[in-house]
Amino acid sequence: DQQVKQNSPSLSVQEGRISILNCDYTNSMFDYFLWYKKYPAEGPTFLISISSIKDKNEDGRFTVFLNKSAKHLSLHIVPSQPGDSAVYFCAASTQGGSEKLVFGKGTKLTVNP
Amino acid sequence: SAVISQKPSRDICQRGTSLTIQCQVDSQVTMMFWYRQQPGQSLTLIATANQGSEATYESGFVIDKFPISRPNLTFSTLTVSNMSPEDSSIYLCSVGSAGEQYFGPGTRLTVT
């Protein structure tokens, strides 16, 4: 039973355009969501998070949107850069982020120059 | 943030043997986590290791298969015992709260 789903295993965009990575979840108890970026041979790096009391959180080129009614969140990267090419993992937690993280399978983003 | 190192970075092992993975953090932390990422799968939490107490294992993971040590606040080991090809994975340690965890580079294990 996969509680966090990233249905697109890969995404390819042109440099300068917007990248949109999607994530769906099934557990209504999740109230804290995170995005991690992972380069090959490195561990995941925390990117951005959002609490369920918000519907948007922005940090520079990265914005996460949360739609609680649809149990859906998305990560927008604008503008996309070749250095953004990596695998992006969505993760969710309960208790405001104090409980364990449940990860999706990841989406491999390729930004073409 | 924390700087985390893992040893070995990769290994190829024969089935039936055991491998111990080390995780070192550059600062004292209360909680350390061990994850597994099987090929094409998500990161799955194996166990949470607190210093001075027994590790807490997630459903589907047992201490006999994945014994964990946590001798101090900067170090932990995970042993993968009696390995089979299904144990071929990337094993990662992490620190921090669940709200913001920092990960080591991972240990890529291949069991033949």
> pLDDT tens digits for B2-33?
899 999 999 999 999 999 999 999 999 988 99
Using CA atoms, how far apart are residues A57 and A66, in angstroms rounded to an integer? 9
- What's the angle, vertex CA B67, arms to CA A4 and CA A106, rounded to 5? 20
Separation in Å, CA B24 to CA A44, A87, B77: 16, 25, 9
- Does the distance separating the beta carbons of B42 and A4 come in below 8 Å? yes
- Does the distance separating the beta carbons of B94 and A105 come in below 8 Å? no
What is the Cα B69 distance to its own chain's centre? 10
**pLDDT (0 to 100) of residue B98:** 58
Using CA atoms, how far apart are residues B95 and B1, in angstroms rounded to an integer? 9
- Does the distance separating the beta carbons of A46 and B42 come in below 8 Å? no
Given pLDDT bands bounded at 50, 70 and 90, which one contains residue A97? Answer: low
- B33 CA: distance to closest CA in chain A (Å): 9
- A100 CA: distance to closest CA in chain B (Å): 5
**pLDDT (0 to 100) of residue B16:** 97
**pLDDT (0 to 100) of residue A99:** 74
| Partners of residue A46 in chain B, C-beta under 8 Å | 100-102
Interface test with B, best of A3, A25, A103, A108 (most B CBs within 10 A): A103
- Rounded to the nearest integer, the mean pLDDT of chain A is 94
| Partners of residue B98 in chain A, C-beta under 8 Å | 32, 93, 97-101
Beta pairing, strands A10-14 & A107-112: parallel
Among chain A residues, CA nearest to B46:
A100
Using CA atoms, how far apart are residues B56 and B76, in angstroms rounded to an integer? 14
- B72 CA: distance to closest CA in chain A (Å): 22
- What are the pLDDT digits (tens) for A21-40? 999 999 999 999 999 999 98
Task: Return the DSSP state at A70.
Answer: T
Write out the two tokens for A19. Answer: 């990248």
Among chain A residues, CA nearest to B40:
A105
Rounded (to 5) percent helix, strand, coil in chain B: 5, 55, 45
Given pLDDT bands bounded at 50, 70 and 90, which one contains residue B101? Answer: confident
Q: What's the whole-number mean pLDDT along residues B53-62?
A: 92
- What's the angle, vertex CA A33, arms to CA B44 and CA B23, rounded to 5? 40
**pLDDT (0 to 100) of residue A96:** 72
Q: For chains A and B, what is the number of CB pairs under 8 angstroms?
A: 60
Using CA atoms, how far apart are residues B51 and A66, in angstroms rounded to an integer? 36
- What are the pLDDT digits (tens) for B66-91? 999 999 999 999 999 999 999 999 99
Write out the two tokens for A112. Answer: 């073409």
Q: What's the whole-number mean pLDDT along residues B39-48?
A: 92
- Does the distance separating the beta carbons of B103 and A43 come in below 8 Å? yes
Q: What's the whole-number mean pLDDT along residues A88-98?
A: 85
Using CA atoms, how far apart are residues B58 and A99, in angstroms rounded to an integer? 12
List the one residue out of A35, A25, A26 whose CA is nearest residue A109. A35
Write out the two tokens for B81. Answer: 């015992």
